[in-house]
Structure 1
Amino acid sequence: MSKIEDRCRLVLVAPDIPDGLERVKLVGDALKGGDVASVIVPQYGLSDADFQKHAEALVPVIQKAGAAALIEGDTRVAGRAKADGIHIAGAAAALAEAIERHAPKLIVGGGNATDRHHALEIGELRPDYVFFGRTDGDIKSEAHPKNLALAEWWASMIEIPCIVMGGMDPQSALAVAETGAEFVALRLAVFGEAEQAPSVVAAVNALLDEKAPRFEG
C-alpha cells in the first residue's frame, strides 16, 4: 500500500453552523472517516466572542484526529485556541504581516490568488501554502475551472504546496488531484448531509488512493 503523503490529500473547511456543539460533533465525526491533512475554521457570521468559543472547542478535536487546525483570519483567536496555524483569505499585505509575526511557530498560508500575477506575489512571501479559491467558494458541483488551471500551472513550476477549493460533489476532488495540487479542500461535499460526513471522507480517500497521480519522490 502506498503512502498517503505521495498523493493529493484532503483538507476540510468547517461547516457554517452557529451551534458550537453541533459543529464540533460534525467535524469530529467527519475526521473519523479517514485521512485529513488539516481543517480550516472560518468565522462565518459569528461574533468574535462566539468564534473564540468555537475555535477553542474545535481545535482539540481536530488535533486529536491528527489533522492541523487552521483558524481563518483571526490571529488572536488562533493563538488563544492553540491552533496549528492561520489561514489568511485576504490580500498579500495581510498574509505578509501574518508570516512576519507568526511563522515559523505557526503554519501560515492563504490565498486570494485570483490570477497568476497575484499567485506569484503571494509566492514571493514564502507562505506554507497557497490557496486557490475561497473557503466558501463551493457553489457548483465542480471545482472552479480557473482555480484548476491556476493550480496546474502552479504545481508544475513552484515548490510551495497549494490547496484548491473543490466543488459540492465529492468527485470534484479527483479533478483537483489531477492538476498536481498537493491538497483539495472540501466543505459542502462533506458536510452537506451531516450523517454522511464520515463515509464521504472515506470515499474521497478511496478515490484518491485509487486514481490520484503520485508525486515523484
Structure 2
Amino acid sequence: MNDTPPTRCRLVLAAPAGADRASLAARIADACAGGDVASLILPQYGLDDAAFQALAEAVVAPAQAQGVAVMIAGEPRIAARTGADGVHAEGGRAALADLIDRYQPKMMVGAGGAKDRDAALELGELRPDYLFFGRFGYDTKTEPHARNLALGRWWSEMVEIPCLVLGGATVESVADVAATGAEFVVLSTAVFGEGVDATAAVAQANRILDETAPAFETAS
C-alpha cells in the first residue's frame, strides 16, 4: 500500500466465491503486496453463517494489517464479531435503513443493488457511505457492464456520495471505470481469477490508474 493514498480513482477488491480460508487469505496478501488497495469487500456467496464467519476471521485482520478496510457483504453481525470496518447491504431501501440505524457511525455502511437511477437515488437518500454499481460474481466479461458505467458516470456528476463501479475480467478495465469519474473501481476476477498473479495484477491496475484516471480536486 502507498503511505499516501492517490487522489484519483482507487482500487477495491471483491473476494471471489469458493475459496477456502487459507488460500483466500494468501491471495489477498499477495494482492495487497502489489500496491494501493483501498478496501476489500467480502461477500457471503451463499455460505452459512458459521462458515462465513470462519472465512471472515481468516481474512479481516490480515487485510487490515495491510491498511485495507474490510466490508462484510452478508450477515452484518459477522462484521462486528470479526472487527471488520463496515457492512455492505444488497437488500434494498428497508435493509439499508436498518443497517444505517444499527451501525452508523460506528461502522461504515455501503449499499448496492440499484439497477437504475430511481433505485440509486432512493438508496442515496439514506446517506450510505458509498453506492456500488455492479453484482458480485458477474465480472465475467472483458469489459465492465455498460449499465454500470453509465450509472457510475451519472452518479459521479450528480451526487457527492462516493460510488464504486465493478470492472471487467481484465485489469485494463479499470481505465473505463476511472473515466466515469467514479471514486473506486472494483476488481475480482481480474485479480483473483485462476492463474492470475494477484501481486502483478494490482500493480498493473495502479499503473493504469496513475496514467489514465482523472485527478480529483483536493480540499485546500
Relative to the length of structure 2, the TM-score reads 0.94
The two structures, once aligned, show a CA RMSD in angstroms of 1.2
Q: SS state of the match for residue 164, structure 1?
A: strand
Q: SS state of the match for residue 209, structure 2?
A: helix
**2:90 maps to 1:89:** yes
Q: Is the 8 A contact 2:16 2:137 kept in 1?
A: no
Q: 2:33 — aligned with what?
A: 32
Aligned partners of 2:176 and 2:17: how far apart in 1? 25
Q: 2:57 — aligned with what?
A: 56
**How far off its partner does 1:195 sit?**
5.1
- Structure 1 stretches of 4+ with a deviation exceeding 6 A read none
CA 1:126–1:82: 2 relative to 1, 3 Å: same
How much identity, in percent, do the aligned residues show? 54
Number of residue pairs matched by the alignment: 215
Relative to the length of structure 1, the TM-score reads 0.96
Q: How does 1:107-118 map to 2 (within 5 A)?
A: 107-118=108-119
Gaps of 5+ in 1: none
Aligned partners of 1:167 and 1:193: how far apart in 2? 15
Q: SS state of the match for residue 52, structure 1?
A: helix
Q: 2:74 — aligned with what?
A: 73
**How far off its partner does 1:193 sit?**
3.3
State the one-letter code of the partner of 1:145. Answer: A
Q: 1:198 — aligned with what?
A: 199
Listed one character per residue, the Cα deviations across residues 11-59 of structure 1 (whole Å, up to 9, x for unaligned) are 0001223421111111111111110000000111322111101101100
Q: SS state of the match for residue 197, structure 2?
A: helix
Q: 1:177 — aligned with what?
A: 178
**How far off its partner does 1:194 sit?**
4.8
Q: How does 1:39-50 map to 2 (within 5 A)?
A: 39-50=40-51
State the one-letter code of the partner of 1:75. Answer: P
State the one-letter code of the partner of 2:205. Answer: V
Q: SS state of the match for residue 36, structure 1?
A: coil
